[in-house]
Structure 1
Amino acid sequence: MKQKDYQCWESYMLSCMGDTAHDREHIYRVLYQAMELAKGEAGVDYEVLTAACLLHDIGRKEQYEDPSVCHAAAGARKAYVFLTENGYDVGFAGKVADCIRTHRYRKDAPPESLEAKLLFDADKLDAAGAIGAARTLLYHGKENEPLYSMTEDGKVSDGTKDTEPSFFREYKYKLEKLYGQFFTEKGRELAQTRRDASRRFYESLLAEAREAYRGREVLKELLDGQDPE
């Protein structure tokens, strides 16, 4: 792999990034994590893997502007056009595009090549553990979405039955379920080491939020003219 190729892919990636939860540091973490995962695998095409990692989120802008757009599909198309227009052959561009197209979890479009599986696992590892929780909070803050919602009886919801976006809902519907989705042995092992950190953060946040609301009963008694017990 030549330095000029890396710089070409990196430069285009940097021109496309902006989302705080999917910023350039996310891209670099995914790239470096993929390199680490690849060390235990035979026959890795490092050029395809590197280009795919650098370009895997270039479709985020299109999805942000139109939520019906899948950023993985949009990014795959953009990467293919960019690579072919910059002199890379269609075979290479197609392999990179396939990795990008399948890096987002979809049952009807699982990653097939080794490079696609390495990208998938590296990207999901960045959604696992403490860093995954932090990135999720960044995203929900950017979207002005709350940490939690309230149940009909006035309690802090744990997210299980939520229909509106919140951090707790994202944890129950996505973050908690990540750990059975990995394709490489090393990816699965690393994911399990991060699982407890994510779970402990969620459980602590839920407990502290619910504890804070206990004082509401005290306020209610005061407003009703009663002395708090």
Structure 2
Amino acid sequence: MKTTLCLLVLICSSQAMAAIGCLPGQCELPKPRPTCPPSRPSGGRPIPQLASLEINLVDSNEIKATPTGILIDSSWKNAIYDFAKKNVRHPSWGLSHAERNYQVTKILAEKEKVELDLDVLFAASFLHDLGGLKGYEVEGVDHAVRSAELAQNLLNEAGFPMEKWALVKEIILGHTYYTAAPTNKAAQLFRDADVLDFLGNIGVTRILAITQEEGTSDSTLNPTVGILNTFAKSMAEKCISESCKEIAKGRQEELLLFLRSLNKESFNGKAL
């Protein structure tokens, strides 16, 4: 994802900044998809139409499930999931990230005794990062804002019960760790799930995938390690719920253990 240039800039050395094409001061505090000059004209892909993508909206007697067991038990879920499989494609922000956010939000809700609307959770999970992906992003527009814009149209066409849209929108707009926390409990837990996905072994894997994309690396692992060090120190503090904080401790230790081992194996970071 081209917009991850900004994420690297804030943590890398000035030499690394020059290598990846951003200058100091161009970008804000580290974000998964901050506002940074994209590699394509502004405007983004037009708001997608489900019909034009030949997605099946017909009810089926067969109840399907995603790889982690999320039920696809209605025609609108089938339509949105089919759309996501074809369009929400990225190693860090794609379909697997959406599945993890859904499942971790459920785990947190059980611990916090918060009742979730699974229709709302499904819709938000599979569309919350769409506006940050190539072809859908818009220059100068935060990916959460763009995602909400795209999601409203998609869900309406798919047959989602739009009386629930307000909460879906709040979850999507409030999921980023660098903006004001949402007030709704379900939205807070979804944000917590998104925070946890930056920590632990999964966090390492995701950041490696981002920082080694073409055009974002200085040909070393220094940008990656810089981001991981920052997240290891500060990301757990972004948790809202006590359950998130509890899980974050373990994931933070995983991340710190990885960084200590990496430092040792790279001759104190001199051969990254």
TM-score by length of 2: 0.64
1:147 to 221, 229, 242: 221
Larger deviation: 30-39 or 59-68?
59-68
Letter of the structure 2 residue corresponding to residue 35 of structure 1: K
Residue 59 of structure 1 corresponds to 131
| Residues 64, 173 of structure 1: alpha-carbon distance in 2 compared, 3 angstrom cutoff | farther
- Per the TM alignment, residue 168 of structure 1 is displaced from its structure 2 partner at its CA by 2.1
| Residues 189, 66 of structure 1: alpha-carbon distance in 2 compared, 3 angstrom cutoff | same
1:173-184 correspondence to structure 2 within 5 Å:
173-184=230-241
Structure with higher helix content: 1
| Distance in 1, Cα, partners of 2:262 & 2:139 | 29
Residue 69 of structure 1 corresponds to 141
Larger deviation: 8-17 or 119-128?
8-17
- Is residue 81 of structure 2 the alignment partner of residue 24 of structure 1? no
Residue 265 of structure 2 corresponds to 208
Superposed CA offset, 1:113-172 (max 9, x none) = 122112111111111111101110111111441311xxxxxxxxxxxxxxxxx1122123
| Distance in 2, Cα, partners of 1:123 & 1:195 | 14
| Distance in 2, Cα, partners of 1:23 & 1:66 | 18
- Is residue 81 of structure 2 the alignment partner of residue 10 of structure 1? yes
1:88-127 correspondence to structure 2 within 5 Å:
88-107=160-179, 109-127=180-198
- Per the TM alignment, residue 17 of structure 1 is displaced from its structure 2 partner at its CA by 1.4
| Distance in 1, Cα, partners of 2:178 & 2:200 | 21
| Residues 65, 38 of structure 1: alpha-carbon distance in 2 compared, 3 angstrom cutoff | closer
Higher relative contact order (CA 8 A, sep 6+): 2
| Residues 67, 39 of structure 1: alpha-carbon distance in 2 compared, 3 angstrom cutoff | same
Residue 151 of structure 1 corresponds to none
- Per the TM alignment, residue 199 of structure 1 is displaced from its structure 2 partner at its CA by 0.6
| Residues 101, 65 of structure 1: alpha-carbon distance in 2 compared, 3 angstrom cutoff | closer
- Per the TM alignment, residue 206 of structure 1 is displaced from its structure 2 partner at its CA by 2.4
- Per the TM alignment, residue 212 of structure 1 is displaced from its structure 2 partner at its CA by 7.5
1:75-90 correspondence to structure 2 within 5 Å:
75-90=147-162
Residue 247 of structure 2 corresponds to 190
| Residues 212, 70 of structure 1: alpha-carbon distance in 2 compared, 3 angstrom cutoff | closer
| Distance in 2, Cα, partners of 1:191 & 1:129 | 8
TM-score by length of 1: 0.75
Identical positions, percent: 26
- Per the TM alignment, residue 20 of structure 1 is displaced from its structure 2 partner at its CA by 1.6
| Distance in 1, Cα, partners of 2:262 & 2:221 | 9
Unpaired runs of at least 5, structure 1: 149-165, 215-229
Letter of the structure 2 residue corresponding to residue 170 of structure 1: I
| Residues matched between the structures, number | 196
- Per the TM alignment, residue 94 of structure 1 is displaced from its structure 2 partner at its CA by 2.3
Letter of the structure 1 residue corresponding to residue 83 of structure 2: Y
Superposed CA offset, 1:96-119 (max 9, x none) = 121011101134x32221221121
| Distance in 1, Cα, partners of 2:248 & 2:174 | 19
CA contact (8 A) 2:114 2:185 kept: no
RMSD of aligned residue pairs (Cα, Å)? 2.5
Residue 42 of structure 1 corresponds to 114
| Distance in 2, Cα, partners of 1:125 & 1:63 | 27
